[in-house]
Amino acid sequence: MAARAEGIDERHARSCRSRDGGRCNCSPSFQVNLWDGRSQRRIRKTFRTLTEAKAWRQDAAGALRAGTLRASDGRTLKSVADEWLAGARSGVIRNRSGDPFKPSAVRAYETHLRLRVLPALGTAKFGAVRRVDLQDLADRLHASGLSASAVQCSLLPLRAMYRRALARGEVAINPTIGLELPAVRSRRDRIVSPEQARELLAALPECSHPLWATAMFAGLRRGELQSLRWEDVDLEDGVIRVKRGWDAVAGEISPKSAKGRRSVPIAGVLRDYLAEHWLRGGVGDLVFGRNGRTFDPRGVSDPAKAAWKAAGLEPITLHDCRHTCASYFIASGVNAKSLSTYMGHADIATTFDLYGHLMPGNEAEAAALLDAYLAV
């Protein structure tokens, strides 16, 4: 072991000739040593290159002086993951928007950790995990046949854990930043024309019309449809007040985000469907439930698919209905800010990311504005 820079030790393999005074025949690593005076503990971190070691040491030394870094308590990745999941379930740990994590999101994070992350890195010290360790894990997962989307989802809980640890001064570097992950080629959600929407609804049993019409013409999420109550439907004022969502395990939950609480306009065509639904006996607490219990998504989707197949129509999902509704709002001239409110997006950037390609005149308007500016 030889010192190559202040606070950095060069570490060679036991079989390396340099240990006997010969020329190095291994690939040495570089260990950074820092002393945390506040916790009276030593911080050690090993890197593959001297450049990485110097860069980390400089950042870490500055963080120690600023009081934003402290020595690791030696916890393993598994123990930190267990604590993080418990905090996310209780609501103590929140997402980047400051909202509690949805129960389904916490369950998904736990599954990804248990199946793919912890078997590989669970015993590693949380503060000692390097970017290269996570890159190797991502590469192995993708090489094993896991889809690009699944690889990215597998690393989501680690991103959340290290983001929180960095903010709390428990680590100096977030090793999830800068990873080279396989690109996700997502399909575009299906959007149907108003004529196709009428054909799809007409092919369904009459009792199914109100649910699918609300999905198509109000754009509510599936969980919002499952938890919708008659007290939230104001046919006189023409609005649906979205106040809650639904989780398959936890039951009724808060909306996806603070912006999820919103009022959505009821178009005339939807008003007719909902009014008929009420008159037919829809007087229970839930709009789309029976005997106090909400609908089962598969119990709704499977019969609908069968009806559409029999009619020779391409099926649509409740999620596609939501995007279809957004396209109708855009085509009718609703501005982006109002659309963002009606769809319950956390911010307008989400609206543009999802539906910017549907907004008419973008290219022509931009060209006209540029021509006018250049002509001055």
State the CATH number of the domain containing residue 256.
1.10.443.10
Last residue of a domain, one of 14, 45, 66: 66
Residues 82 and 151 in one domain: yes
d(CA 157, CA 137): 14
Tell me what pLDDT residue 71 has: 63
Is residue 46 predicted with pLDDT exceeding 80? Answer: yes
Write the DSSP symbol of residue 357: G
Task: Give the dihedral sign, CA 222/225/228/234.
Answer: positive
Domain assignment of residue 370, yes or no: no
Per residue in 161-213, pLDDT tens?
999 998 887 887 899 999 999 988 766 678 899 999 999 999 999 999 999 99
Residue 150 domain boundaries:
77-167
Residues 62 and 18 both lie in one domain: yes
375 lies in some domain: no
Residue 369 lies in a domain: no
- Name the domain boundary from 33, 66, 99: 66
Report the range of poorest mean pLDDT among 13-17, 23-27, 95-99, 230-234. 95-99
Across 231-247, average pLDDT: 93
CB atoms within 10 A of CB 351: 22
Residues 39 and 104 in one domain: no
> Are 162 and 201 found together in one domain?
no
| Range with the largest mean pLDDT of 60-69, 255-264, 292-301 | 292-301
Same domain as 334, residue 232: yes
Asked which of 193-197, 254-258, 328-332 is least confident by mean pLDDT, the reply is 254-258
Q: Give residues with Cβ within 8 angstroms of 240, minimum separation 6.
A: 214, 218, 220, 228, 232, 233, 234, 263, 264, 266
Handedness of CA 288, 292, 297, 299 (dihedral sign): negative
Q: Give SS3 for 202.
A: helix
Residue 72 lies in a domain: no
Q: Is residue 182 part of a domain?
A: no
When pLDDT is averaged across residues 25-30 and rounded to a whole number, the result is: 90
For the whole model, what pTM was predicted? 0.67
Same domain, 23 and 148: no
Residue 318 located in a structural domain:
yes
